Amino acid sequence: MTTELEPTKSTRACRRVVTGAAVGALVAVGFVVANRFRTRPSVTQALWDADPIGPDDLAG
């Protein structure tokens, strides 16, 4: 005879809330990472912006 207890309703509800919060946090982190990659300028654009000599200076 086993003495395993059936989880109570409050325990199941608590687990459901914790699982939902964890999934929500992962989704939020995913959105932040995706937004950061999307808004970061390309490497060539960043190098172009950092260059003090512009195309007008080269033209003479």
Mean pLDDT of 12-28: 94
Q: CA torsion, points 9, 13, 19, 20, in degrees to nearest 10?
A: 150
What is the pTM assigned to this prediction? 0.52
How many residues belong to the chain?
A: 60
Band (pLDDT 50/70/90 cuts) for residue 27 is very high
CA 39 – CA 50 distance, rounded (Å): 17
What is the chain's percent helix, strand, coil content, to nearest 5? Answer: 75, 0, 25
Collect all residues with Cβ–Cβ distance below 8 Å to 49 and sequence separation of at least 6.
Answer: 41
